[in-house]
Structure 1
Amino acid sequence: MNEVKFKLDQRKRGGFFIEEGDKQIGEMVIGLSDHTLTVYHTEVAPEMEGKGLAKKMFDEMVRYARENGLVVVPLCEYVHAQLRRHPEEYADVWSR
């Protein structure tokens, strides 16, 4: 299926993206600091909703946070909802 790509600029802003062909169909906008990964927004193209793309980006974001010893600050409603639903599973990365 679609691969999640990670892009970051010099200011440590960017995110996780899914593309289909030359079109971006999903994005999770983030910012990094020394110890935190802040998620600002998650969006999937309307025609691709319900196919698990947001969850795929979420899982990749959590993997990245764990591998880099970061705490997630969920300003995005989708990410906050995922963390709230499974607090034990994400206790190691969730900044409440």
Structure 2
Amino acid sequence: MAEIHIRLNEKAHGAFYIAEAGKQLGEMVIGIAGKTLTAYHTEILPEEEGKGYGKQLLNAMVAYAREHRLQVVPLCPYVYAQFKRHPESYADIWQPDVAAE
């Protein structure tokens, strides 16, 4: 079963990583500044696409944002598409009319 971990550097930049059996399958690059989490990019290995790993990363990021009371700026096209398709699911962490700090 795939596991998701977050790694952040001292400047609160990093990523959520999804791995299975020691192999990294994908990542969601993020940065945190103040009360804002910016999702920059999500990438899954081509041979692992279509297995729901992007959605798992999205769910982990959303859970993290909620736990830490952060607002999300979805610069990543995948995250933005999911937020736009299901705004009711993300209304507590996404204000589409508010720009990043």
* Both structures adopt the same fold (TM-score exceeding 0.5): yes
Where does the alignment leave 5 or more consecutive residues of structure 2 unmatched?
97-101
Where does the alignment leave 5 or more consecutive residues of structure 1 unmatched?
none
Task: Give the TM-score normalised by the residue count of structure 1.
Answer: 0.96
Aligned residue in 1 for 2:29: 29
Indicate if the aligned counterparts of 2:71 and 2:94 stay in contact, CA closer than 8 A. yes
Q: Read off the aligned partner of 1:75 and give its amino acid letter.
A: L
Aligned residue in 1 for 2:4: 4
Post-superposition Cα deviations, 1:30-77, rounded to whole Å, max 9, x if no partner, equal 000111000000000001000000000000000000010000000000
Q: Runs in 1 of length 4+ with deviation above 6 angstroms?
A: none
| Partners of 2:58 and 2:85 in 1: CA distance | 13
Task: Give the TM-score normalised by the residue count of structure 2.
Answer: 0.91
| Partners of 1:30 and 1:54 in 2: CA distance | 14
SS at match of 2:87: coil
Shift of 1:95: 3.0
| Partners of 1:56 and 1:35 in 2: CA distance | 23
| Partners of 1:33 and 1:26 in 2: CA distance | 23
